Structure 1
Amino acid sequence: MQTPLELAFKDIEPSEDIKALVAEKVAHLETFFDGITSCHVYIRAPHQSQRKGNLYEVTIELRVPGDELVVRRDQDDTAEHQHLKVAVRDAFAAMAQELKRWKAQIKGDVKTHGGPLQGKVVEIHHDEGYGQIIATDHRLIYFHKNSVVDGNFEDLQPRDTVELVVKTGESEIGPQASTVRPISSLQYDPHPKRSGQ
């Protein structure tokens, strides 16, 4: 993930067991899709249910390129959710289904490229000499100012369109561009044709 997992407990004592379980479940989600940018998990013991005692509420907010997936487990008043580990397990199982559904939806947009990979600058830090690009294959790609060719890093702005070449083998910070070339928006094709069409 681009940013570390954020886990918050409300009306409940933080537990090392639960922290470890959540970290394990997040790692499992990354086996379905390795482009998750952030994950926020909120765990709370809300109201007292007159029928079943204290029910835990687990909310997961997962950011993926261009979207946010949210699962909230509290409405179904399941008796098992009196057990926090079960509530966490069920919430992550639901998120895994959401993630698979989202991935299937975008699959139609992930095309094989006849030409160079393109993308748009989503983040630029002129003072620190780096930025990030969301590519047409939905990956978030890091780039350093030294990778910019046929243009000036200082001139790049968010939403600018670029062609890029991604290094083979991921760095510690994820996919990284070896070359970034600014192009005009008229040349930008967010939906390249599939090969063979």
Structure 2
Amino acid sequence: MAIPLQVTFKGMDPSPALEARIRTKAARLERFADFILRCHVTVEAPHQHHHQGRMYQARVELDVPQGRIVTGHEGPQDHAHEDAYVAIRDSFAAATRRLEDHVRKLGGSVKHHEPVLVTGRVARFVAGGDYGFIETGDGEEVYFHRHAVANNAFGKLRVGDHVRLAVTEGEQGPQASAVHAVAAGHD
């Protein structure tokens, strides 16, 4: 299963080359755990006012069963982080170590449920919240969060829009781990 991935660039223009590197690194995480629900990577350019080397910051957030793994670099940075690719490499290396630790801690106790791929329509949004519900073809309502919506398109969704989604069983019922808008008539 492909990990639902969101990439955000802060203080810099989006870079197709950096995004490709991030996608490759995220795909490799599945070697260590195939139950990753979501991966959000933020690459932040250094502020212009720094007099010495400009250090990039890369942050990797993984939503996994029974937890969340977040890596980034706080405190003094290695001057190698003047290169965005090195910052990304280091953050993914830390994420991999933490993911391996998480898998060991769980000791195989994770109940792995393959996501079910279905289509549906956006039923409603919760006022003031970053989430809503999708009604599937069988009438079931599935929770979804803005981070599960592909291509940062949460703000573009409207009630009644057709979507494809991967549904997993969460602690409080079914939830969407990936939501993709579908053009009308193509679901």
TM interval, shorter chain, is 0.5 to 0.7
1:14 aligned onto 2:14: yes
Which structure 2 segments of 5+ residues have no match?
114-132, 143-165, 179-187
Give the residue type in structure 1 aligned to 2:137: E
Determine if contact 1:56/1:74 at 8 Å carries over to the other structure. no
Task: Tell me, yes or no, if structure 1 residue 84 matches structure 2 residue 93.
Answer: no
Q: Report what 2:127 is aligned to.
A: none
The corresponding residue for 1:104 is 104
Q: CA deviation at 1:83?
A: 0.5
**CA radius of gyration, larger in:** 1
Q: Which runs of 5+ in 1 are unaligned?
A: 112-116, 119-123, 133-139, 144-157, 161-172, 174-197
Task: Map Cα deviations across residues 134-181 of structure 1 (whole Å, 9 max, x no partner).
Answer: xxxxxx9758xxxxxxxxxxxxxx747xxxxxxxxxxxx9xxxxxxxx
Distance 1:126 1:5 in 2: 23
Q: Deviations over 1:2-36 (max 9, x none)?
A: 76310010111211110110000000111110110
Question: Aligned pair in 2 of structure 1 residues 68, 131: CA closer, same or farther (>3 Å)?
Answer: farther
Change (3 A) 1:110 1:127: closer
* Of 40-49 and 62-71, the range deviating more from structure 2: 40-49
Task: Check the 8 A contact 1:58/1:74 in 2, yes or no.
Answer: no
Instruction: Give the counterpart letter for 1:4 in structure 2.
Output: P
Structure 2 counterpart SS, 1:62: strand
Quick one: structure 1 residues 141 and 4, their matched pair in 2 at CA, closer, same or farther if it must change by over 3 Å?
Answer: closer
Quote the Cα distance in structure 2 between the aligned partners of 1:4 and 1:69.
Answer: 15
Partner of 1:128: 137
Provide the rounded CA distance (Å) in 2 between the counterparts of 1:31 and 1:42. Answer: 22
SS in 1 for 2:68: strand
- Matched residue type, 1:109: S
Shift in Å, 1:131:
7.5
Q: Which residue of 2 aligns with 1:53?
A: 53
* RMSD of aligned residue pairs (Cα, Å): 3.3
The residue number in structure 1 matching 2:123 is: none
Q: Which letter maps to 1:94?
A: A
Q: Which residue type is aligned with residue 61 of structure 2?
A: E
Code of the residue aligned with 2:68 in structure 1: it is E
Shift, 1:97, TM fit: 0.3
Count of aligned positions: 130
Cα distance in structure 1, aligned partners of 2:172 and 2:83? 46
Q: How far, CA to CA, are the matches of 1:125 and 1:9 in structure 2? A: 29
Distance 1:33 1:131, change over 3 A: farther
Q: Residue 79 of structure 1 aligns to which amino acid in structure 2?
A: H
Secondary structure at 1:36 match in 2: coil
The residue correspondences of 1:37-186 to structure 2 (distance < 5 A) are 37-47=37-47, 48-50=49-51, 52-107=52-107, 109=109, 127-129=136-138, 142=168, 159=172
Asked if structure 2 preserves the Cα contact closer than 8 Å seen for 1:61 and 1:68, the reply is yes
Q: CA deviation at 1:125?
A: 6.0
1: distance between equivalents of 2:53 and 2:98?
29
